[in-house]
Structure 1
């Protein structure tokens, strides 16, 4: 199986340009104001302008691995975030007289299922674009690209978003993406800002990396180890059996090593079981560093049986903390989620916020076309090279092919730490940086082959 975390932390190369298209988001009450979605376009078109773009509606598709082998919640977040955005947008008047009609498809976490979803949405439902995809295996990517269907804000689990044109992952890309080799002749690059951050913030000098004896898990673990060593860490590497992981032995090795930080290349199930073994062995970490996939309110229950490990839980990402309701864009997201999906209060996550941001990205691209809404116009917006920050929710991202990376790059991050409930509160994720746009480092760009 391929786990979301394996692709998520491999940051793309290329300089981060100044933010553009920064618009204020605000939302309160039962109806979100027009300003939450940018200025309204003038009137309805009264005519169809492209596939899926009719006179009164525009149809978009979302493919999600809801019933995947790794669980129903693993990939669900972006779907709900995007659905909340479009419901709020429609309640605020829609897109220039058009209502956004969303068609969803569950691919079951298989390549065949993904191809079936793609053909169903593109050929039968004739959607204008895809958005906020989060799938285990994106086998339908070549067909989506060949049909010229914009796919906006997808989660880069595999390598599709680093290879195919018309696919625009949530973090942007500076790779050629010409449909031939992935990245630069089969090579991608990662930066090391996460490891630099913990070295400077916590004074950490040693780290453990734990992975399954499975190809994707092991490959991602090697990337983490490469980054840690580049930043001068002493690294303890441990591999466990996917079916019967021996976490007690890992905990004993970490205790003997005096490990400062723990990074993993596992799913939530493995994380929770490892933390139980660490607590039982009396291992005390400066930080257990998880990734954006596991940045979720479910930490409250996932680590119920390992409070010591949970107290050391940190998460890093390229998007804003979904708990930072002081930020207007986050507040708009939380208002919409509470209104449309109140049952997900204990399941809120960074991925849901990124699904909302993906829907906003597609909406702003469509709005740029005015009444003449076409795929060509949306593609021109996405490929313009202008950095986009989803109204302050993302670090500025763009799609502008660059030469093969060399030398250091300026890379930024967001970071939060879990804090347990106190004085009757719920507890949750507390941001640990002044702002993700200013928490930046000049770090090396390290090549790897996915």
Structure 2
């Protein structure tokens, strides 16, 4: 079934967005401005490389390596693909561009890759400020499997975020400027663990507070008692928050704070003896670096849970995960974002292979992406679809991938993601 994923996008990147760096989506343009049909893109002869572009905010105000996971996963896929002969004998030539986390840099990357390098597609875009999104759309360049940090993937045609979209994508975000997301994560902890009281921790900063309100609304829709905690962004007193969490008897802790703040919060929780069923983190923090990041908080560390829409990167009983891990064994750390970048590159590859008869063009790849079939990347993703619904859905059946951290075992999957599914309300929000 079609599944909207905008709330997961916000969830995955709340820690970054709280830094109040805006994500520009460009001004709305009429459909008549989308003049290129994509079929005039030079189509290389047999054996010549296929060029793809990867835009990453590899250097940005939020620090190095915050956004590089999808890039590294996609590049690992293409390296292995080329070692096996490429796509119908054509190697994939990957053109990387670091936009520096700025709108100006992003527009420069878009110009370089689309106009000068003439890439057939963008893959695994992970941009703090996707200011060039409208330009990508006007050029009808398919952008495949990007991480939807802002609203671009629910705004523009020809952009295909890793979690899918049901929005019209006609130049206006979502439906009349509002996006919709489900309450499946909150339903999961209520059903599986009997959770009834949830705390939401945020900074006294606009974007952090806005995300916290979204979480609070979803929790209340699922019948939780909600405890709100806010700390000063410049001088956070996490010990006071931890003491109140203990006093309030919170079962769950959600947050709208950065990774460093999360580690400090966990340490404070250990220091005051605040025990919870789950300290719920997100896809961006679903990494193998947990022992280092949370080295000072063993109790809280072992209460970390992560939720998402892709198969746990440590689930090596699954063949597709084993292949990913084998190809990325040389990386210092592993992460869920790397696996999703790998899946994005696989998605492009299948699209390009579908173009064998007419040649690999932007238009042909785009046609593949617009199919109504759910894409799973050999089981790595909960089925992803792109449809254009005239009205937002009131409810959807949504599946969720869940894992918890255990020292000595790493991230342990909590059931199969394709079986952990809920019929949940879809709530509106604005970015």
**Residue of structure 2 in register with 1:314 after alignment:** 305
Q: Does 2:341 align with 1:355? A: yes
After TM superposition, the score normalised by the length of structure 1 is 0.86
For residues 128-176 of structure 1, what are the alpha-carbon distances to aligned partners after superposition, in whole Å with 9 as ceiling and x for unaligned?
A: 1100011111011111111111100000000000101111000110000
Distance 1:99 1:216 in 2: 42
Distance 1:317 1:6 in 2: 9
Distance 1:65 1:235 in 2: 35
Are the counterparts in 2 of residues 53 and 59 from structure 1 also a CA contact under 8 Å? no
Q: Does 2:219 align with 1:228? A: yes
Which of 239, 244, 247 does residue 230 from structure 2 map onto?
Answer: 239
**Residue of structure 2 in register with 1:381 after alignment:** 368
Secondary structure, aligned partner of 1:156? coil
Q: Does 2:145 align with 1:153? A: yes
Tell me how large the CA RMSD over aligned residues is.
1.7
**Residue of structure 1 in register with 2:24 after alignment:** none
Cα drift, residue 49 of structure 1: 8.1
Distance 2:147 2:78 in 1: 18
Q: How is 1:91-102 mapped onto 2 (pairs within 5 angstroms)? A: 91-102=83-94
Count of matched residue positions in the alignment of Structure 1 and Structure 2: 398
Distance 2:291 2:97 in 1: 30
Unaligned runs of 5+ in 2: 1-6, 14-38
Distance 1:247 1:155 in 2: 30
Are the counterparts in 2 of residues 53 and 374 from structure 1 also a CA contact under 8 Å? no
Q: Does 2:399 align with 1:412? A: yes
Distance 2:426 2:174 in 1: 14
Are the counterparts in 2 of residues 52 and 127 from structure 1 also a CA contact under 8 Å? no
**Residue of structure 2 in register with 1:139 after alignment:** 131
| Alpha carbons of structure 1 residues 194 and 268: separation in structure 2 relative to 1, 3 Å | same
**Residue of structure 1 in register with 2:32 after alignment:** none
Which of 249, 252, 265 does residue 274 from structure 1 map onto?
Answer: 265
Distance 1:186 1:311 in 2: 39
**Residue of structure 1 in register with 2:205 after alignment:** 214
Cα drift, residue 407 of structure 1: 3.4
**Residue of structure 2 in register with 1:20 after alignment:** none
| Alpha carbons of structure 1 residues 5 and 304: separation in structure 2 relative to 1, 3 Å | farther
Distance 2:43 2:250 in 1: 54
> 4+ runs of 1 displaced by more than 6 Å?
none
Q: How is 1:291-310 mapped onto 2 (pairs within 5 angstroms)? A: 291-310=282-301
Cα drift, residue 304 of structure 1: 0.4
Are the counterparts in 2 of residues 51 and 127 from structure 1 also a CA contact under 8 Å? no
Secondary structure, aligned partner of 1:66? coil
Of the structure 1 ranges 50-59 and 313-322, higher mean CA displacement relative to structure 2 is found in 50-59
Are the counterparts in 2 of residues 134 and 154 from structure 1 also a CA contact under 8 Å? yes
Secondary structure, aligned partner of 2:300? helix
Are the counterparts in 2 of residues 52 and 59 from structure 1 also a CA contact under 8 Å? no
Cα drift, residue 9 of structure 1: 5.1
| Alpha carbons of structure 1 residues 367 and 353: separation in structure 2 relative to 1, 3 Å | same
Distance 2:377 2:355 in 1: 18
Secondary structure, aligned partner of 1:444? strand
Of the structure 1 ranges 242-251 and 185-194, higher mean CA displacement relative to structure 2 is found in 242-251
